[in-house]
Structure 1
Amino acid sequence: MIRFADGEAALFSVKCFIAAMLAYYIALRIGLTRPYWAVTTSYIVAQPLAGAVLSKAVFRLVGTALGAAAAVVLVPSFVNAPAVLSFALGLWLALCLYVSLLDRTPRAYTFLLAGYTASIIGFPAVDAAGGIFTVAVLRVQEITIGILCGSLIHGVVLPRSVSARLLDKVDAMLADAERWSRDALRGAREQTLDLERRRLALELSELYQLSIHLPFDTARLLPRTRTVRALLDQFTLLLPLATTVEDRLAELALCPGGLPAPVAALVTRTAAWLETGLGQPDREAVAATLIADAAALEPATIDGATAWRDMLLLNLLSRLGDLVALHRDGRALRDQLRAPGPRPITPRVAALLHQAGARGLHRDRGLAVRAGLGTLATMLLACTFWIGTAWTDGAGAVLIAGVCCALFGNVDDPGPVIFTFLLGSAAGIGLALVYAYAVLPRATSFVTVAAALAPVLLILGSMLARPPLTLFTLGTLLGLLNTVGLNASYSGDFATFANGAVAQLIGTGFAVVTVGLFQTIGADTSIGRLLRASWRDVARRARGRAPDAQLWSARMLDRIGLLMPRLAQRREEIRLPLMDVLTDMRIGFVAGELDRLAATAPDAERRQLRAMLDRVAGHFCTLRPAAPEAPPPALLGEVDAALALFATDPEPARRRTGLTLLTSLRRNLFPEAPRYEAAA
């Protein structure tokens, strides 16, 4: 029996083939000189989801126009100075790659296209600079045809909606989050749920990427991007909040007297509500009752003999109320996504939509600069080889090397990736050799050419839809389509075919070598940079330099998503001792809230909080991935001194906030420390 995934891949392949042949037919009918560019483009923009195809098409069209404009400006200006022209085109590509690596959204494709389109147009036109404008216009026309055909077929013929995928993912993520919270309230320890929760970081990244495509989707009712962003904010707050609740439950179980019976009953009611109540009409009313009951059970005073237990209870009940509110708001935003119109369904949803802001993403400017400089060096070395050997088709090798650097510049170790692409290119050229000299000479019309290409293109299209084979297949398709001779008329010039094929292989092989020299950083280095960036951000927040908690938390969570596949490469546990970014995220979140509290606290409390937060920041600034250290014991004394001050604060709201935050900070920084004891 054919599996559903196989059927999806087959349908995707058929649509790719129809789009490619339509693009080829149109390019032939209007007399374009290189119709294979339209065919290749139709495959490059192909995506299983209709909205992703349309958005990628728009990004590619804009990028192509920018790249063509850059080529028109640069080539005539420096045509008499080949070395300067090579540097200018290489610098343009490096700059575009730098910007794309900082963007880290599907929009980055625009900058990549702008970079290597200038090379594709510019280098072959060095000997005919007078016709550069015509070449650029033709290139844009052919790519536009490929884009329009791909968009039409994938967007109209049995389209796969981004909205449907997004809504299904939201439902699955909410179900997982609610299950995790239920399990934690019922006694599951953090270690049991930790790996699953870290997977949420990857899912949040995918959900954010899907939201970029929403405005281009073909569904009848489109969820609003702002609603997705508001929901992402709720998911971002879930991780530090849920882990706080389960830690406090575990710690209270070890305290004399354990968990008070009324609090245990409230925890049980909350777990039951998370299991059955979120889908009920009285969801809002029950949530309000649970939040009110949690507030009513909070200790009114902190007794000296049971101070630590009272602080833990205060922290637990405060965070339990926040957890209930978060799950309530998540379900409300889920309902808003499925609402028939953009009007907020409740005032609370309206407030959440108003608060939703930009999504914080990790950006490593150092690595982006390195990738840009490595690309520039690759282009200059390739141009030196081309100019030095006076190879007529050397421009093809140069532009292919640049394309490889651009496409794979965001990979920690791009050499093996480009080598896989090289193997695919070699396979495609082998297929092109068979087709160009054994099959296509016998094809005397468009119909026979399409029929001859159908078997191999349908197989490759199906492989393209399978992630493990995508990279190899993309190389095969480009190797086949760029050299097989899909022009207006058949040409059996073997020398032209051989030169083009050799240029493609040499250019790709050259990129394998040069990126290994200039752009390889390895998983260990990448992990270290991510950890240091996280620690720097914790220090910044402790010093009051990252006041937007949601933006800061989103960036930290994004780093967890980046760390997970790299740690998996090393076959190490995702949870590393003293390198737990999730714990760092909780510490930084609380530290930032304490910094805000210090701004309005009395002098003694403010001085103590500032001194403590400076020590927190200093600790995280000195951490090193190779030899991480535990927080200094003096910091524990600073935290306990702050707890003692806030325990006697006469202002109830400030006392509650201070004790709640300081208890969280103590548990996250010193989970193995003895229980806090108030001074006699």
Structure 2
Amino acid sequence: MIHLTPARREAFAFGLRSWLACVLALYLAFLLQIDEPLWAALTVWQVIQPAPGMAISKGFYRMVGVVIGALMGIVLIALFSQTPELFIVALALWVGACTVAASLLTRFRGFAGVSAGFMTALVGLGAYHAPEKVFDIAMARGAATLIGIACSLLVTTLFAPRRAQAALIQSLRQAISDTARRAAFPLEGALADRFALGPSLAGSLVGLEPVIEFAAQESARGRQSAGPARRLVADLFAVLTAKRALEEYLGRVGLGRDAGSIALYREGMALLDQVPAMMAAGKEAELLEKTRAYHRRVREAARATSSPRIDDRLADLAAHLERALTLCLALQDESRSAPPSDRAFRLHFHRDRQAAAINGARSFLAVLLAGAFWIGSQWSAGPFLIIPIVMVCSIFVSAPYPEAAALNFMKGAACGIGAAYLCTYHFLAGTGDFALFAASEALFLIPAAMIQLNPRRTAFGLAYGIFFFLVGEPSNAMTFNPAAFFNSALAILTGALVATLAFRLFMPPDPRRARRHVVSRMRSGLKEMAEQEPIPAHSEWQTRNFDRVYRLCDPANPSAIRGSQAREWYEGGLATVHAGNEVLRLRHLLREGALPERAATLGRSLLRAVADIAAEPEAVSPAIRRTTAALAAMTPPTENPGAWDRLLAVADELEAFFAAHSRFLNPERKPMNERIYGT
């Protein structure tokens, strides 16, 4: 008896589902007499996923892209069927625009951009020599694509396990434990040990968004849980930010001598130390009561101690931990529904517009050059030259190493073409029965789907299946033309090679440039926090910039700093998140109108100084020092002393930040340690 590990059983089950969905799509396309039924099976291979939520999400955005792409294909043929040069330019521009969209949109939303460019190429290139049939071609290929999406969703929904909601709850519980473990890290602990916890935790919190999204697609309960789950993640980011702010302050002035604040700090750290064990034991309710009681004591003590900044940070930390635990309990109770404000809550992430523009330009040039070669050479297989370029240049733009992914894609295309030849000319040539046809397909598709499930081999498996169907061309009346087969195969491999070379030759990934751009976006973000109306939420600033910080340290990202230098980048990034929070605190304080006019004027001067960071980064730190000195020279007002203390605290934090980290935020200025900041 063959013994399979759980991972291999899951891979084999995925292979069976992929094969079943492909043959079901082909059967329906044959039954309905759809022209070119291969597109139904090819679509299944593109959208099939191991879980229902993932399949629904990808299938939906594939459908959106197909509709947009088919319409654009008709438009291009209607406008440029008599002018091949303009047709190629228009197609290249459209594919470039779709690549930009695929780069900017997150997760499977980007697949809508990929699908729009791909479908436009299929319709436009297919109808180029027969423009009068463009509508028929669009309808046939669009219908086959929709059949493929439907079959993929049907098979996955019926036979794939539904585990997304349970996985989400488990991931959130683990995230609470990991966040508490980092927040409990002692002040006297080694920086290297603290850094060992930080970036990986930031990455795991950022990575919860797709888990939430797929759970929302899989079930009604998942949709109800999505907003509260995102709010919980934002609260965990806020816990980290509060502890980081506390560490910044205590690192400068120490814990002080106020016995009450010292006791509260130690009590808070002891509470955080208990969180992982209590979460593992299922004692969330008891933990919530402890956190709530601690939060109440901190708020009461803040009015009486001589260390209000410490108590404010502890209160902030306790408040967000309390809400995270409350949401965690609510998510596990199916009888409770989230309030409307939580249901609509969204997280915010970094969007790399610079990389998107480069990716779009690369796609435009690659399609333009390939199209020009096709028009000039009149190669009969020219469309098969362009299709792989469209796919590769848009699918892998978000991959950490797109050139390597494109190379694996080319290898998969070569293997898929070889498998298609064996299947078509040695297995199917003597087969007239659909059952034998399906069995023959299984020999080639099930192992490939198992390979595709491996993240390191996804590009290989994807290309294998796509080109297995594209050159094999399964149809009701099979035709066997080896010359046409090898002509198409040569065009496909040439297109895949051109796309791979495009990633190497046209503005290949530059880690230094990418790091500078991320830091530049953080600098621009500070300016936006100082000026944007209405005042942005703290969660918007924190979640987007934790994503940026993680990009600077993610070991899987080629743009990340390696080794010991990563710690300085990470600390500088977290300090920037803290500075943005202080800017938002200041804006809310000024909005309250509790400060005397002179103090409010100086507060607005602080905001103007921060807002100048994009135009005059060198002038920010001196301007903040002058404003802080002017505040120190003022006589403290007798009314609203709490507002005055908050203003002084913000000014002090901003002055300390720009004194310690101004070089991190100024990529144009050569820092003290160029190796650290990569500028």
TM-score range, shorter chain: 0.7 to 0.9
Shift of residue 424, structure 1, vs aligned partner: 1.5
Alignment of 1:118-197 (within 5 A): 118-184=120-186, 188=189, 191-197=192-198
Q: Distance in 2 between matches of 1:233 and 1:559?
A: 15
Query: Counterpart of 1:292 in structure 2: which amino acid?
Result: R
Q: Which residue of 2 aligns with 1:607?
A: 601
Q: Aligned pair in 2 of structure 1 residues 554, 271: CA closer, same or farther (>3 Å)?
A: closer
Q: Which residue of 1 aligns with 2:640?
A: 651
Task: Give the conservation status (yes or no) of the 8 Å contact 2:227–2:346.
Answer: no
Q: Which residue of 1 aligns with 2:296?
A: 292
Alignment of 1:186-265 (within 5 A): 188=189, 191-218=192-219, 223-249=224-250, 253=254, 255=256, 262-263=263-264
Task: Give the conservation status (yes or no) of the 8 Å contact 1:540–1:546.
Answer: no
Q: Which residue of 2 aligns with 1:418?
A: 406
Query: Counterpart of 2:508 in structure 1: which amino acid?
Result: T
Structure 1: gaps of 5 or more residues? 302-309, 345-349, 624-628, 674-680
Shift of residue 560, structure 1, vs aligned partner: 2.3
Structure 2: gaps of 5 or more residues? 663-679
Which one of 314, 317, 320 corresponds to residue 314 of structure 2? Answer: 320
Task: Give the conservation status (yes or no) of the 8 Å contact 2:523–2:613.
Answer: no
For the aligned residues, what is the CA RMSD?
A: 3.1
Shift of residue 633, structure 1, vs aligned partner: 6.5
Which one of 560, 581, 604 corresponds to residue 549 of structure 2? Answer: 560
Q: Aligned pair in 2 of structure 1 residues 17, 559: CA closer, same or farther (>3 Å)?
A: same
Q: Aligned pair in 2 of structure 1 residues 351, 192: CA closer, same or farther (>3 Å)?
A: farther
Shift of residue 50, structure 1, vs aligned partner: 0.7
Query: Counterpart of 2:299 in structure 1: which amino acid?
Result: A
Alignment of 1:450-529 (within 5 A): 450-529=438-517
Query: Counterpart of 2:236 in structure 1: which amino acid?
Result: F
Structure 2 residue 650 is matched with structure 1 residue 661 = yes
Q: Which residue of 2 aligns with 1:678?
A: none
Q: Which residue of 1 aligns with 2:355?
A: 367
Q: Distance in 2 between matches of 1:202 and 1:546?
A: 29
Query: Counterpart of 2:213 in structure 1: which amino acid?
Result: I
Shift of residue 337, structure 1, vs aligned partner: 2.0
TM-score, with normalisation over the residues of structure 2?
A: 0.87
Q: Aligned pair in 2 of structure 1 residues 274, 15: CA closer, same or farther (>3 Å)?
A: same
Greater CA drift, 589-598 or 468-477:
589-598
Q: Distance in 1 between matches of 2:5 and 2:108?
A: 30
Q: Which residue of 2 aligns with 1:596?
A: 588
Which one of 398, 401, 417 corresponds to residue 389 of structure 2? Answer: 401
SS of the aligned residue for 1:491 comes to coil
Task: Give the conservation status (yes or no) of the 8 Å contact 2:265–2:314.
Answer: no
Shift of residue 607, structure 1, vs aligned partner: 3.1
Cα displacement string for residues 139-173 of structure 1 (whole angstroms, at most 9, x for unaligned residues) = 11111111111111111114233222222211111
Task: Give the conservation status (yes or no) of the 8 Å contact 2:292–2:322.
Answer: no
Which one of 313, 320, 324 corresponds to residue 330 of structure 1? Answer: 324
Q: Distance in 2 between matches of 1:364 and 1:20?
A: 36
Task: Give the conservation status (yes or no) of the 8 Å contact 2:530–2:610.
Answer: yes
Query: Counterpart of 2:453 in structure 1: which amino acid?
Result: A
Query: Counterpart of 1:49 in structure 2: which amino acid?
Result: A
Q: Aligned pair in 2 of structure 1 residues 25, 211: CA closer, same or farther (>3 Å)?
A: same
Identity of aligned residues (%): 23
Task: Give the conservation status (yes or no) of the 8 Å contact 1:184–1:190.
Answer: no
Q: Aligned pair in 2 of structure 1 residues 427, 259: CA closer, same or farther (>3 Å)?
A: farther
Query: Counterpart of 2:577 in structure 1: which amino acid?
Result: M
Q: Which residue of 2 aligns with 1:304?
A: none
Task: Give the conservation status (yes or no) of the 8 Å contact 2:15–2:446.
Answer: yes
SS of the aligned residue for 2:34 comes to coil
Shift of residue 236, structure 1, vs aligned partner: 2.9
Task: Give the conservation status (yes or no) of the 8 Å contact 1:413–1:522.
Answer: no
Shift of residue 98, structure 1, vs aligned partner: 2.2
TM-score, with normalisation over the residues of structure 1?
A: 0.87
Shift of residue 66, structure 1, vs aligned partner: 1.6
Q: Aligned pair in 2 of structure 1 residues 409, 351: CA closer, same or farther (>3 Å)?
A: closer
Shift of residue 660, structure 1, vs aligned partner: 4.1
Query: Counterpart of 1:593 in structure 2: which amino acid?
Result: R
Cα displacement string for residues 368-417 of structure 1 (whole angstroms, at most 9, x for unaligned residues) = 23322332222221111001111111122122212222212345763333
Q: Aligned pair in 2 of structure 1 residues 412, 224: CA closer, same or farther (>3 Å)?
A: closer
SS of the aligned residue for 2:557 comes to helix
Q: Distance in 2 between matches of 1:257 and 1:270?
A: 20
Cα displacement string for residues 471-517 of structure 1 (whole angstroms, at most 9, x for unaligned residues) = 12212222222212322233221111011111111111122233434
Q: Aligned pair in 2 of structure 1 residues 49, 280: CA closer, same or farther (>3 Å)?
A: closer
Q: Which residue of 1 aligns with 2:672?
A: none
Shift of residue 328, structure 1, vs aligned partner: 1.1
Q: Aligned pair in 2 of structure 1 residues 373, 272: CA closer, same or farther (>3 Å)?
A: closer
Task: Give the conservation status (yes or no) of the 8 Å contact 1:543–1:592.
Answer: no
Greater CA drift, 203-212 or 214-223:
214-223
Shift of residue 594, structure 1, vs aligned partner: 1.6
Which one of 520, 528, 547 corresponds to residue 532 of structure 1? Answer: 520
Q: Aligned pair in 2 of structure 1 residues 183, 410: CA closer, same or farther (>3 Å)?
A: closer
SS of the aligned residue for 1:441 comes to coil
